[in-house]
Amino acid sequence: MLQVFIKHTSASLTINENADATVRADFESHINIMVPENAPYYRHDYEGSDDMPAHIKSSLMGASVQIPISNGKLNLGIWQGIYLCEHRNNASGRNLVISYFGV
């Protein structure tokens, strides 16, 4: 198994279709409608209008993914890819922890 973990609270990891770039664009458009910036009830906005929405989006999608390894290769579905979802407008870099385990 391969585990990928992101060490941030305003970005996330998920697995989704990776064959057609419009999926990624639609994914981002939809999540931005679900969790908009500048909601009047947000109190946590110390780093800007994208601050609290980024934390919510990160929690919805998660901080890690696990992928089986078979015959030395990631055993993803034919259309699948790992998304690193950036939820901040001006992020300065992200750190990942990659671990593998098993036989």
Residues 39-72 have pLDDT tens digits of 999 999 889 999 999 999 999 999 999 999 999 9
- The whole-angstrom separation of Cα 59 and Cα 8 is 11
Task: Report the pLDDT averaged over residues 20-41.
Answer: 95
What integer pLDDT is reported at residue 103 of this predicted model? 66
Closest CA to 10 of 64, 53, 46: 53
Taking the whole predicted model, whether its pTM rises above 0.85 is answered as: yes
What integer pLDDT is reported at residue 92 of this predicted model? 84
Domains by residue range for the chain, with CATH: 10-65+78-93 (2.60.120.460)
